[in-house]
Amino acid sequence: MSKRFMTLTEVGEELNISPSQTYALVRSGELPAIQVGGRGQWRVEVRLLEEFIARAYEKSAAAARNGGPQEPTENDE
């Protein structure tokens, strides 16, 4: 049985982004997450992470159709 939820650390590792970038995605609501436990630790459902990734691909494709990709930022390296 595969696991249903990932920690923010695991999500960041999967997306190859920093912990602060991962938390910013959750805080903004762009990546849905829930808080669990007495310390309010964040968890992201694997299905929702996959949907987030699919939306990101769609967004990137739309940007490419409308004039090309954006210039990479410092964090894209």
Residue 16: give its domain's CATH number. Answer: 1.10.1660
Nearest alpha carbon to residue 22 among 1, 2, 49, 59: 49
In order of 8, 12, 27, 64, the CA distances from 37 in angstroms are: 14, 21, 18, 42
Q: Where are the beta strands (DSSP E) in 1-77?
A: 5-7, 34-36, 41-45
Q: Which pLDDT does position 74 carry in this prediction?
A: 62
Examine residue 11 and state whether it is found in any structural domain, yes or no. Answer: yes
What is the tally of structural domains in the chain? Answer: 1
Domain span at residue 32 reads: 5-62
Q: pLDDT truncated to tens, each residue of the chain (77 aa)?
A: 789 999 999 999 999 999 999 999 999 999 999 999 999 999 999 999 999 999 999 999 998 888 766 666 666 55
Q: How far apart are CA 49 and CA 39, in angstroms?
A: 22
Q: Is residue 49 situated within a structural domain? A: yes
